[in-house]
Structure 1
């Protein structure tokens, strides 16, 4: 499985395939054999992933790929050890540091942030011996309901986490290199985001004033599909585009992937029932309704506790 990277400028790069999938082979158990799935039309090679937590409170990676129009699905338990709780949110801990990083908590190179309903925020490190190392770094995260992380852009910007609160707010945090509490808390909004169902990092771009804008995908309770752009320097001056106005209200998790060439981007959309669906965006850089295509049903029975990868 190869990381798929897009370059949107000389120094600005975004990975369109979730980085956590890269470590599956070295530290996972119970990997399923590839099964056939819907293919993405054309000759491109595309991938997308989704995180889940099963009834045993183990992290599962779901991986979709399509090559020359033929699709396949596989899943992998990311360590036999139980987390000991079911996370409200679960995200990869991304940094701009070296790879492999001396700051990883686990020995495998896959670290996560996860928060529990009691307010605990943990760094979860996966180890090569199929154990986990869990470090509590905060105790006031009980109200965080959705979270997504950007990529660290080497020499340009830190990795960032965006988080929705139960009160309808949106917060932004900086991800430290070491397995510690998130820093640099910025309250983007105290209210107004309560109707957002899902939030997923899409890509970053350079804005007209030279700042970096993080583009986030969201679905709402009213059925909208929205792209939000948040400037790094002034996140409170965000802008939005309604890409679709109806029919997206049942999506509980939306996770984007990428293709080896061109702007085509696959998405996995999850329903609360555990059903997964495949979508494509013809051009990730243009929020146009006609670019979005629903390709059909991918799978049934995935965990209802799912998270964008």
Structure 2
């Protein structure tokens, strides 16, 4: 199934979503223009923008979360992605033991919220199938019955029922809702406290007369900036992976013993700590896009830079996560 779903995030599919994302960014520009000189909460602002993007590109639901009061799905999305206090403890419990999760009947999403979202998603699926319209979003991808993707002809067709399609779309919502808004907020912060970098980036962006998918992908300094944001502020502070075969970690100091990882052991990999380890990144607290220049990026070992995870379980929405920061009006 994963290989089949990868087809929804290929460059060709990103091109289809490009126009939809730009519409949401234009709405943000209008919103800020009307409030010129006023202070804004950047995290909330970008969460609203991201809600527009996610609902449009994933579900085909058109809404304006920048309006007051915001769309009801925005409020529900915030509740689902609230990781404070007891909610974080419950999430932590699911990573330790699924047996404990089932025993304590731990649910990460309140039942009423889950039902409402599933109804909204199924409504989009049914309406699109009934009207035979095409928007180039994830709903269209889920309804595509060709069985192969243009980019991955080897991906076998998997017949998903309505509940399974809705669950996949709901999973994409959970995975992208908070991640992209956080990335946007951190990007804006670093540009604000590093005016020289902001100035150089603006020069590159303003040098493009017409923003297209191709011109966006050719903005080298923009890519360097986003890569450094993801290095300093990775979307996930850690990931977990199951050990598939015995592996021995050799001691580095005299008072240490070797550590043997047996198959089946769940390992936590601290992305945040690795990305800020001076052994791999000199002056790790410094925001320096030059780390990812053509001259320097080959010096970075892929095994110590993985903001989207690594291996066959890497985030399949990686390309989508880049898009809002790249299309934002810096």
TM bucket, shorter chain: under 0.3
Bigger fraction of residues in helix: 2
Q: TM-score, normalised by structure 1?
A: 0.24
Q: Point out which structure has higher relative CO (alpha carbons under 8 A, 6+ apart).
A: 2
Q: TM-score, normalised by structure 2?
A: 0.23
Larger Cα-atom Rg: 2
